[in-house]
Structure 1
């Protein structure tokens, strides 16, 4: 109603409620339509006679910046990180006041810029943006942005293998959200605390924490948290040898992510499903899972998941004795800064398994071949291998 009647002041007041509704339901494309219309209305008023309609131009600029930040969130959800970065930098410029001091609302776009860097595997860049967002949100007492920033600082610590800091951040986020009863982030914090326990090989505790968080997220009807929680619970059940449960959870997760069009989640669930299917001897299906994950991750530049797909596909290459290609992929992953610590551990373990079957000369040749390779070139090479493209 507010958009259709040009009541952008009403939409601005209710903006966060609108944002939360579409985020909860996973209505990402619909949200983009709503916020695009709202932005058009603000621009029309800005270009015409804003004072006659009760607005100052500076007020409209700040409003436009807030709408851009809300819209950017959903652009991130569908995987268009480059476009989101452009809009977020534009939002930051609009949210600067006349004296150059950053307004409180700038914390949210800064947080999102950090989130994008995390998706892309630039963990130091992610931390820089997130630290800025945390500083502003703490000073301005923006509790929700503060909680989200702490949460994603936990994810960043997890990615580089600092599980102690990851646990501390998620516990801090949990405590903060309990103060203002933000149920979805409470649930997601439990899920990610469980993921930390999984990384520390405490699978029973991991299962309990993830199930606790998943129940909360399902009660709040937040589809993204529910879907990702199911993926994490799937991999824990897989480690506990609950194979059918693991597969069902992963398939449920993948289905939800496909419904939402959430690209990161599709890639994560596909990589996990590839691991599960490989372990049960469903090698053709496993290969298809890893190939889909690799293709999507390359398309959307989700480099940590590209590298996870590489490791998954090395098992298939090992079936046909392509040892040099395997060593190339494993060495590439181990040396790449975007690879998550978990992924590097898997690559290192498999490389150790292969040590008895490869010569130092082969390792040297693999190192020579990857020296000047970028991730896209290597991905194309992998996808063009006959053993990867062939059907069993």
Structure 2
């Protein structure tokens, strides 16, 4: 349960304030498209921070880096609550993200410390089923807070969540024994990234998960305006539409747990990647033609997000199984890739915002197709480490 909570921090930190984005923009006198930069700033911190926490945990263990990260998360959330401009909030969101990513990165590494093969994929999917509850509840909780308090209270709630999680870490055991830790100087440990990035099959796993998440964060940044502003959905109802994606993720992760032992994680990942490509193109069609109105946009978005249940756990497990001896560094690359493309996705939607869902649709089509190509071209059946 603690690992699920740690992995949910990426969603907890963002989804809860999505319904407040239009209100925040008005209160902070933000220009059109600039509120979305609070998501981009978060993703920058989240992406780069993982590259530090991963190698550090391979050298000193998992528990201490997670605790230090949680302290940074609490400080960043408090800073957001007292921000008086979008620019200041973007900076504090980056601090919050650098802290939050420690738990997410190292929770994946802890799973690899304890499990391998199909069993690791099953455990990762199980964690993601629980983790999917966060985006299921987050926007609804944010909408309820807005009804009784200001948007600043949402970040005060995140401070409380961080403090509770920090207390729970006292019960988390260390899963990387001293005998299995990397002994090289930390500066040399960071050089591991150069070796890892020369492995085509690893790049395939990174590409599948990374491009998927580029579309997901375009969805996160774009749907508040596509639903609330363009289709006139009430802010309190936005959480319900957003929650549909989480239900789809949970359902697909459930099927993944049941099928991965029989069909294999790579095959299921490829099925999910092809689905993401098709759904991304459907989203673009609906966004540019307004075919089907609100429902015509909601359905393919739901199906795209649902593909996460077949892709994320299997891509993560495939990458970690290639290099278990540096699981922290591999996990950091996974997260940096996912949130790095997330930066591009959310920034694209914000930069080309025109009051319509078209930037959202175009972005999701691009990332969906590249996700498919990564799975088909780089993660070929029967290939080994260097295939």
| TM tier, smaller | under 0.3
Q: Which has the higher contact order (CA 8 A, sep 6+)?
A: 2
TM-score of the aligned structures, taking structure 1 as reference length = 0.27
Larger Rg: 1
With normalisation by structure 2, the TM-score equals 0.27
